[in-house]
């Protein structure tokens, strides 16, 4: 008997080990939630499907957020990213939520698990976060966008962060999660931190503001220039789709140069490379007040209004609406 008991115990231990060590796979359903108003149990999984792409949320810890609210948060972020990429950047994304104390969305990271072939986003989430706070949070949209671009070398992080920083509010404007006024107000407030700081160019900067907002300014200028050269038929998002379609997602081992070339090739332009030379390899200079003026964005004591007679007003509207 002891032998059999030991044998059974060993099998159970082995099964438990295999279960814990196994890569996350599509189970065709989820467990842990039984009703919309019940908070999910620890270890719960929740699958989502967007066309042929899948997101699986894995909850680590207990939260006091209803399944419906959490579902809306994931859906809104995914829809915002789909507004930019036309689909999710990689076929399978695991979102691992670590429940923490508090009532807001915390720190998040994104990476790609090459061995098991999925994008992995790890997100800290206060267990008492309200639906209103979830609605305001840009974090998951930002991390999902990262999966559409190669994980580039450190000196080019400004490009990856710039893309996520620039496109996140655009995606959220297009899904109605934020307003165009709010988006431009935040860009106008933060863009000065991205201006050259005697660093010789974005590739040489160590400034947090330059990495995020200098990168976002590179993206804004690229978006405007692509729209100018294609009579507003295409924008930066189409170059990004081209990069992802050629394989340059977080799943790739591409460097930044390959991504830039693929983006330019997709549109048969040289905008990304030209701006790279100007802003990454050289300090570049941007006249921000003139730029806002041309786009028809008028800021008065933090209140934004639009001048539709401005020379780039049509481009501003296309950036907001994607059409």
Catalog residues that contact Zn ion under the rule CB under 5 A.
161, 164
Residue 112 · residue 120 · CB < 8 Å: yes
Token pair for 180:
């165009």
Closest CA to 82 of 120, 53, 123: 53
d(CA 163, CA 181): 20
Identify the helix (H) or strand (E) that includes residue 108.
strand 105-113
- For the bound state, the minimum distance from the C-beta of residue 105 to Zn ion, rounded and expressed in Å, comes to 14
Q: What angle do CA 79, 190, 238 make, to 5 degrees?
A: 40
Output 65 or 152, the one with its CB closest to Zn ion.
152
- For the bound state, the minimum distance from the C-beta of residue 110 to Zn ion, rounded and expressed in Å, comes to 7
Identify the helix (H) or strand (E) that includes residue 54.
strand 53-60
Output 111 or 270, the one with its CB closest to Zn ion.
111
Closest CA to 68 of 134, 140, 144: 134
- For the bound state, the minimum distance from the C-beta of residue 143 to Zn ion, rounded and expressed in Å, comes to 7
Q: SS3 of 282, please?
A: coil
- For the bound state, the minimum distance from the C-beta of residue 170 to Zn ion, rounded and expressed in Å, comes to 15
Residue 124 · residue 228 · CB < 8 Å: no
- For the bound state, the minimum distance from the C-beta of residue 123 to Zn ion, rounded and expressed in Å, comes to 12
Output 45 or 110, the one with its CB closest to Zn ion.
110
Output 100 or 141, the one with its CB closest to Zn ion.
141
Output 163 or 195, the one with its CB closest to Zn ion.
163
């Amino acid at each position: 008997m002891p032998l059999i008991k030991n044998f059974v115990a060993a099998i159970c231990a082995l099964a438990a080990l295999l279960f814990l060590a196994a890569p996350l796979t599509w189970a065709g359903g989820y467990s842990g939630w039984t009703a919309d108003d019940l908070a999910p149990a620890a270890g719960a999984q929740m699958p989502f499907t967007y066309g042929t792409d899948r997101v699986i949320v894995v909850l680590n810890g207990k939260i006091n957020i209803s399944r419906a609210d959490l579902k809306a948060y994931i859906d809104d972020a995914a829809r915002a990213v789909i507004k930019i990429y036309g689909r999710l950047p990689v076929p399978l994304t695991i979102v691992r939520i670590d429940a923490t104390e508090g009532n807001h969305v915390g720190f998040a990271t994104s990476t790609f698990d090459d061995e098991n072939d999925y994008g992995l986003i790890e997100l800290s989430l206060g267990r008492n976060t309200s639906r209103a706070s979830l609605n305001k949070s840009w974090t998951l949209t930002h991390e999902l966008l990262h999966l559409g671009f190669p994980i580039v070398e450190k000196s080019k992080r400004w490009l990856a962060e710039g893309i996520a920083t620039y496109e996140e509010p655009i995606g959220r404007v297009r899904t109605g999660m934020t307003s165009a006024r709010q988006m431009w107000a935040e860009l106008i407030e933060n863009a000065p931190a991205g201006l050259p700081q005697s660093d010789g160019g974005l590739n040489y900067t160590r400034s947090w503001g330059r990495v995020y907002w200098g990168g976002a300014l590179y993206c804004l200028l690229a978006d405007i220039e692509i729209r100018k050269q294609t009579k507003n038929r295409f924008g930066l998002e189409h170059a990004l789709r081209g990069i992802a379609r050629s394989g340059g997602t977080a799943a790739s081992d591409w460097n930044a140069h390959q991504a830039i070339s693929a983006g330019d090739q997709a549109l048969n332009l040289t905008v990304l490379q030209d701006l790279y030379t100007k802003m990454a390899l050289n300090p570049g200079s941007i006249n921000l007040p003139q730029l806002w003026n041309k786009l028809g964005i008028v800021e008065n004591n933090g209140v934004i209004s639009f001048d539709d007679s401005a020379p780039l007003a049509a481009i501003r509207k296309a950036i907001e609406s994607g059409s």
